[in-house]
Structure 1
Amino acid sequence: MVAPPVATTPSGNLQSSESLAKEQEDEVDEEVVNDMFGGKDHVSIIFMGHVDAGKSTMGGNILYLTGSVDKRTVEKYEREAKDAGRQGWYLSWVMDTNKEERNDGKTIEVGKAYFETDKRRYTILDAPGHKMYVSEMIGGASQADVGILVISARKGEYETGFEKGGQTREHALLAKTQGVNKIIVVVNKMDDPTVDWSEERYNECTTKLGLFLKGIGYNKDDIVYMPVSGYTGAGLKDRVDPKVCPWYSGPALLEYLDNMEHLNRKINGHFMLPISGKMKDMGTVVEGKIESGHIRKNGNLLLMPNKTSVEVLTIYNETEQECDVAYSGEQVRLRLKGVEEEDLQPGYVLTSPQFPVKTVTKFEAQIAIVELKSILSNGFSCVMHLHTAIEEVKFVELKHKLEKGTNRKSKKPPAFAKKGMKIIAVLEVNELICAETYNNYPQLGRFTLRDQGTTIAIGKITKLL
């Protein structure tokens, strides 16, 4: 018996020619993907903003304008909203599917909806704007490619959303830390009698916000502003009528989304999908966004951190249709064989068996403290949101303070850290978590720290220990 020829991988592991051939066949040409799917790119967008900025109404109207929800459904909701004495809210009812949210008029879970234009396929994640629900918002943002920050131009509402304690700032900050690098600021309710498409009011709303966004790290090129009315639909699909608004001649929202540059996706990267939800349905079903690589039906994956081998029995795409293969950037549900639903939780990661995601209890990170009432020193504990995982984390060592502007490391370790400081610290969690360094896989290497219901810091993992 002749041993099969052996190839060595760069990491020096031996690999049989068989598995090598299989891997090469698995490398997918992006053109092939375009050919197979009619070339439609999939983009996840998240609507963010203060509780009454009109996010759901706008989402509902987009679904209606793109024909994803028909007139009859919208009329049905319109009637129901009227009977409940809430006429103005019917479009948001299209997005807010569970009864509790409707009675509340507030979006709690991250709602998901799906629409398609001639150029692209979109999933809308509608984030709750209410203070109590920020951790759901973090989960949504970690799955989005583009953030749409909705602010209300109505007198008083913009101010409430933007001042301390308002959701506008916190959402923008969270989106940035969760890797939403492009932000579209949609100034909504421009048709309101208190605003009446006033350029002055529009400028007032955008100038202040622009300074804040620049301050948290958005470049000028990553921010786009546009005036709209989510309720009448002006500026969503068709451009705003120049008679109504002579001073804005830019694109409408959908027009802009369709013509954005393609997002660079790692179709051939090592497979990684942080699990954001799970359920029992004829077996174990998990959902999440593929952050890297692609998966075929009947493919084998490794579930980390507990190293369970699983087989993918069925793949559902964002419209609940079964498909044979799914790629980086897509929102999917997978039915798995080989693991019980109770043996996994959100924050676990499905990964390629050859190149599994790293698991650690300790890591070094660069951290910027954005909001902290007192000071923090060794032994400080708080809650960390890392991709879809939520874990308690403890500061075990503050190593360096970083100089403002140059990021030079201090020679001496700081005794404590306070608001406005940037530090390098070692953090520890109780259980193994799936993580990568920010440089290797940004989606699995950036995190948010929260304490007592506020976001206190943002960070990126620099070293796994």
Structure 2
Amino acid sequence: MDLLRFATAGSVDDGKSTLIGRLLYDSKAIFEDQLEAVERTSRDRGFEYTNLALLTDGLRAEREQGITIDVAYRYFATPKRKFIIADTPGHIQYTRNMVTGASNADLALVLVDARNGLVEQTRRHAFLVSLLRVPHLVLCVNKMDLVDYSREVFERIREEFIGFATKLTIPDLQVIPISALEGDNVVDRSMNMPWYDGPSLLHHLENVHVASDRNLVDPRLPVQYVIRPQSNDFHDYRGYAGQLVGGVLRPGDEVMVLPSGMTSRVARIDTPDGPVDEAFPPMSVTVLLTDDLDVSRGDMICRPYNKPVAAQNICAMISWMADTQLRPGQRIQIKHTTRTARAIVKKLHYRLDVNTLHRDENAEALGLNEIGRVDLRIAQPLFVDEYARNRLTGGFVLVDESTNVTVGAGMVVAAD
């Protein structure tokens, strides 16, 4: 079975945690003791129904305030597909957590309260989904039971969102009317909305095609570890382990190792289940070459005529995640694939208002949860592609050198 990673987004109280609880409950992915604990907590808090949001809001502060603060990950499976859910916060001050949860998602669910329609946070999260190049977006118009399952309300919200989405980069958009509390159109089609002829949410999640979203054109294997067993049975074994983040590799393929530029051919591709005839993203593999080359962690295996840019100057969109500000001249550490280097912020081009999409070209710094376009100068080359071409070789994180705390996430726009 293949795997679908999806993240929830939307404003506070739009019902993200309740929706995930309903998905887990109706797909029979909850253990009896988990359900009993949620039912008991629901009674203790005075709810007249089982509050399924408690399945994901695990932090005590979240349960007390009725909001999501951290990114909660949940796992479940149906006969068709495995799922990893990232339940991200709706509050504006936790925007960085939403970026973290959606950064490696295949699909994003943006929820809207049918009573309120589109709000500022809806647009903010839709823009962030577009910025992060999440290829599939589902707008869930939730709480349809509170507007008497009105088709007019749904169509109005749908048309307004589609109008906003035309300004963004969203390759695939689906709009579904649901009630997470009552279960309408979540797992099964709702009898309360006969006017809706589209799929239920789970049916769409099970059938959305994500295999072609990955870059299968540009072979990229960042070397994470060099495997040299000390056993006499494997004294000639020298393998280069890592996760394939782009393209397809097969035994016999000619490859190049960066930064040395030395070429060889793939002798064998090993996995935990044994050798394979081909490897593709996101497989974790060990590649053996026909020649003994000097290869170490941080190197990149690619094709001789299809190489990433060996860049020391990077222009990138940065999502800043720290309380201290990002300013030109600041020194910082950058982590890209399996390579780490020191960098300096050369220039801040503009700060982006994610609500209006307005560019403030007079901005002098980026603050917490702000996004801007920045030039970085890096001490040693990184092997990058544009983020629009490959999210894994085009994305990176920024780390504070003194505290070793992650302070930003970046997406490569241009590099040389």
- Secondary structure class of the residue paired with 1:428: strand
Give the TM-score taking structure 2 as reference length.
0.63
Residues of 1 paired with 2:310 and 2:93: CA distance? 31
8 A contact 1:448–1:458 mirrored in 2: yes
Deviations, residues 65-115 of structure 1 (Å, cap 9, x unaligned): 222113542232121132133566721111122333222322222211111
Aligned equivalent of 2:84: 123
Aligned equivalent of 2:201: 253
Aligned equivalent of 1:443: 392
How do 1:42-441 residues align onto structure 2 when only pairs under 5 Å count? 42-86=3-47, 90-154=51-115, 156=116, 158-159=117-118, 162-163=119-120, 167-192=121-146, 195-219=147-171, 222-241=172-191, 244-264=192-212, 265=214, 269-272=219-222, 291-292=245-246, 328-329=281-282, 354-355=301-302, 362-364=313-315, 379=328, 394-396=345-347, 427-428=375-376, 436-438=384-386, 441=390
8 A contact 1:178–1:446 mirrored in 2: no
State the Cα distance separating 1:434 from its structure 2 match. 5.4
User: Structure 1 regions of 5+ residues with no counterpart?
Assistant: 1-39, 275-287, 296-303, 306-322, 335-349, 370-377, 399-414, 419-423, 450-456
8 A contact 1:179–1:443 mirrored in 2: no
How many residue pairs get matched? Answer: 321
8 A contact 1:359–1:432 mirrored in 2: no
Residues of 2 paired with 1:55 and 1:114: CA distance? 16
User: Structure 2 regions of 5+ residues with no counterpart?
Assistant: 225-241, 250-257, 260-271, 286-296, 320-326, 350-359, 364-371, 399-408
Give the TM-score taking structure 1 as reference length.
0.57
Paired amino acid for 2:154: Y
Paired amino acid for 1:46: A
Residues of 2 paired with 1:71 and 1:228: CA distance? 26
Deviations, residues 315-335 of structure 1 (Å, cap 9, x unaligned): xxxxxxxx65897348x9x9x
Residues of 1 paired with 2:19 and 2:336: CA distance? 27
Residues of 2 paired with 1:434 and 1:67: CA distance? 45
Deviations, residues 257-296 of structure 1 (Å, cap 9, x unaligned): 222224224579333599xxxxxxxxxxxxx99744799x
Residues of 1 paired with 2:64 and 2:223: CA distance? 34
- Secondary structure class of the residue paired with 2:5: strand
CA 1:359–1:92: 2 relative to 1, 3 Å: farther
State the Cα distance separating 1:354 from its structure 2 match. 3.6
Residues of 2 paired with 1:119 and 1:58: CA distance? 20
8 A contact 1:64–1:70 mirrored in 2: no
CA 1:426–1:99: 2 relative to 1, 3 Å: closer
Residues of 1 paired with 2:186 and 2:380: CA distance? 45
CA 1:106–1:393: 2 relative to 1, 3 Å: farther
Residues of 1 paired with 2:153 and 2:332: CA distance? 39
CA 1:106–1:364: 2 relative to 1, 3 Å: same
CA 1:92–1:433: 2 relative to 1, 3 Å: farther
Residues of 2 paired with 1:294 and 1:112: CA distance? 29
State the Cα distance separating 1:182 from its structure 2 match. 1.1
- Secondary structure class of the residue paired with 1:250: coil
- Secondary structure class of the residue paired with 1:234: coil
RMSD: 4.5
Of residues 100-109 and 434-443 in structure 1, the stretch that sits farther from structure 2 once superposed is 434-443
8 A contact 1:153–1:188 mirrored in 2: yes
Residues of 2 paired with 1:86 and 1:62: CA distance? 20
Residues of 1 paired with 2:93 and 2:50: CA distance? 21
Percent identical residues: 28
Residues of 2 paired with 1:217 and 1:384: CA distance? 30
Paired amino acid for 1:169: R
